[in-house]
A and B are shown apart, each in its own frame.
Chain A
Amino acid sequence: MRLICPHCGERDRREFTYQGAAEILDRPSREVGNDDWADYLHLRENPAGETKDMWYHDPCGAWIVVHRDTVTHAVHSGELASEVRK
C-alpha cells in the first residue's frame, strides 16, 4: 500500500504512522456532556469499504487525511488535516 502525502506525493506505507479514523477531527465542543466526549474518543463507524483516516508522514511531519478503501486497500487521495478541518 502506498499513501499520498500532499507535500511529498505517493510514498511507501513504511514512512507513515497510523492514528485511526478521521472522525477524530470532529472534536465536540467543551460544553457538551461527558457521554458525547466518551463516544468521540471510543466509538467508531469502522466502515468496510470507503474510509477516511489519519496518518502522520514521518519525513515531512504532515498530518494527512487519507481517503482509501479498507477492503481493497486502494488509496484514493490524501489531504492535509489542517485543510480538512477548516
Chain B
Amino acid sequence: MRYSGFKVFTEGLTGNKGWKPVWRDPKPKSEYDIVLIGGGGHGLSTAYYLAKNHGLTNIAVLEKGYIGGGNVGRNTTIVRANYSLPGNSEFYSHSLKLWENLESELNYNVMHSQRGLINLFHSDGQRDAFARRGNAMINQGDDAILLDREGVRQHLPYLDFDNIRFPVYGGLLHPRGGTARHDAVAWGYARGADKRGVDLIQNCEVTGIDIEGGQVRGVRTSRGVIRAKKVAMVAAGRSGQVAAMAGMRLPIESHILQAFVTEGLKPVIHHVVSFGMGHFYISQSDKGGLVFGGDLDFYSSYAQRGNLPMKEHVMEAAMTLMPMIGKARVLRSWGGIMDMSPDGSPIIDKTHIDGLFVNCGWNYGGFKAVPASGWAYAHLIATGEPHETAKRYRLDRFRTGRGIMDEEGTGSQHNLH
C-alpha cells in the first residue's frame, strides 16, 4: 500500500478499515544468503539497502525482541552532521543527505524536522573550538554559523545569559540539524525491506554462530538453526555478547545513557540546544514533551535504566541554563545500552572469519547514522569492499594506531567519549 494524503482522506471516509499491518510475520526459513543479527535501526536500514541498492533479497533480519524495542526507539532523536574529523565528517554528511530525502524514499513520514541545532559555548576557549568545528563542517559542504551572544539571544531568548558561573558567550548554529520520529524510522525501513522480500523475524534470539574452517555457516536461534552464507552482526549495545558467540572480543564496553521527557507543553523550545558547561541537551517533540538528556552514567551497565546522580546532574544543568524549565514536570525517564568504543567512533568492517561482518561502536550517536550505516554496511556485505564514506571505520585501527578518530580528544577510555 502506498501512503498519500488521498489515501488518508479516503480511509477517513470509509471508517479507517483499510489499514493493514505493514510487514509480514514470516517463519524463519532453514537457509538464507544473508542473516543480519539485530533488528534495530542499523539492521533494518542495512536490509533495506541490500535489497534496494544491491538487489539481494534472500535475507533475514533476526530480532530477539520486537522491531523498534532497542535503542532505535529509546534515543533523543537528534540528527546532525557536525563532526570535525576526516572519516566522521564525510560519513555523517552522507547520512544527513539521505535523511533529507528519506520520507519520499521510504514513502513514510519519519517527521524529520530540520529545526536547527545550537551548541552553546561559555568561554573564549570553547568559542575557538566551535569556530574550528564550524569550519570543518563548512569544508565538508555542510552548514554552520557562529553566533555571538546577541545572535543566540535572537533564537533562544529564554536562556540565563548572565549566569554567574556560566554566562553564554555564543553558539554554533547548524541550521540543517534537527530531529526525527525515532520509531517511524525503524518502521519505515522495516516496511521498505519487507516489501522488497526481506524476512523480518521477531522474537528470534541468536544464541550461537556456527563457524567451520574459518568460514561462517549460519546461526543458532531460539527458533531453530538457520544456515547462511553471510552473517552480519549489528546488535548495538549487545555487540559484545553476539561477537563472543564467534569467539571474538570487541573494543567495546556497554554503558547506560538516560533520557527524560516532561508533560506535553505548547511550543516553547524551537531548536535542539546543548549546554556547553554541563551535561544537558534538549528539544521539544511534536507532541509537546520536552525531551532531554545528558551524559552516560559512566559505568558499564546493561540495565536499561540509570541511577540518580546523573538525573540530578542533568536537572541541575537544565535549571542553570534555562530556569524556566523548572515549571515543567518530568513524566518519565529511561535508559539505553550504548556500545562505547575506545575512540568514540564506530566500526563497520569484516572480521577475520570469512562471511562474518561487524557493525558496532555507535556510542550515543547512532540514530543519525541509521541511513548511512545501512548504506555502507550493505555495500560491504554485498561487495566485500568498504564503502567510500565508511572506509575509515576499520576494526584494526586500535591495533595499528592508524586512523583513530577521537572527536572529543579524551583518549582511549570507553566511557569518556
Contacts and interface: CB of A to CB of B under 8 A. Distances in A.
Chains A and B are bound partners: yes
B240 A45 contact: yes
A23 to B, nearest CB: 10
A34 interface: yes
Interface string A1-42: 100000000001110001111000000000000110011011
Contact of B309 (A14, A45, A48): A14
Contact of B302 (A34, A43, A48): A48
Interface stretch (A57-65, A69-77, A78-86): A69-77
A70 B300 contact: yes
Task: Specify the main secondary structure of chain A where it touches its partner.
Answer: mixed
Given A20-B413, A71-B302, A73-B303, A44 B252 contact: yes
B399 A38 contact: yes
A20 B302 contact: no
A21 B240 CA distance: 14
B412 interface: yes
Given A1-B307, A71-B303, A44 B250 contact: yes
B414 A44 contact: yes
A73 B255 CA distance: 12
A3 to B, nearest CB: 9
B40 interface: no
Nearest to A45: B249
Contact of A70 (B249, B301, B307, B414): B301
B270 to A, nearest CB: 35
B158 interface: no
Among A1, A21, A39, A46, max chain B CB count under 10 A is at A46
A42 B342 contact: yes
B415 A18 contact: yes
A48 B300 CA distance: 9
B298 interface: yes
Contact of B299 (A38, A46, A53): A53
B298 A18 contact: yes
A73 B240 contact: no
A71 B301 CA distance: 6
A10 to B, nearest CB: 15
A52 B249 CA distance: 17
Interface string B250-267: 111110000000000000
A20 B399 contact: no
Given A20-B413, A34-B399, A42-B398, A73 B307 contact: yes
Contacts of A51: 300
Contacts of B412: 41-42
Given A46-B250, A48-B302, A72-B303, A20 B415 contact: yes
A73 B301 CA distance: 8
B109 interface: no
B251 A42 contact: yes
A71 B309 CA distance: 18
A44 B415 contact: no
A73 to B, nearest CB: 6
Contacts of A73: 301, 303, 307
Interface in B77-92: none
A13 B300 contact: no
Contacts of A71: 301-303
Contacts of A45: 240, 249
A19 B413 contact: yes
A38 B396 CA distance: 10
Given A20-B414, A46-B254, 19 more contacts: A14-B309, A34-B399, A38-B398, A38-B399, A38-B401, A39-B249, A41-B342, A41-B398, A42-B251, A42-B342, A43-B251, A44-B414, A46-B300, A48-B241, A49-B302, A53-B299, A53-B300, A71-B301, A73-B307
Interface of B: 238, 240-241, 249-254, 298-303, 307, 309, 342, 398-399, 401, 412-415
* In the A-B complex, the 9 residue pairs with the closest CB atoms: A46-B240, A42-B251, A42-B398, A38-B399, A43-B249, A48-B302, A18-B299, A42-B342, A71-B302
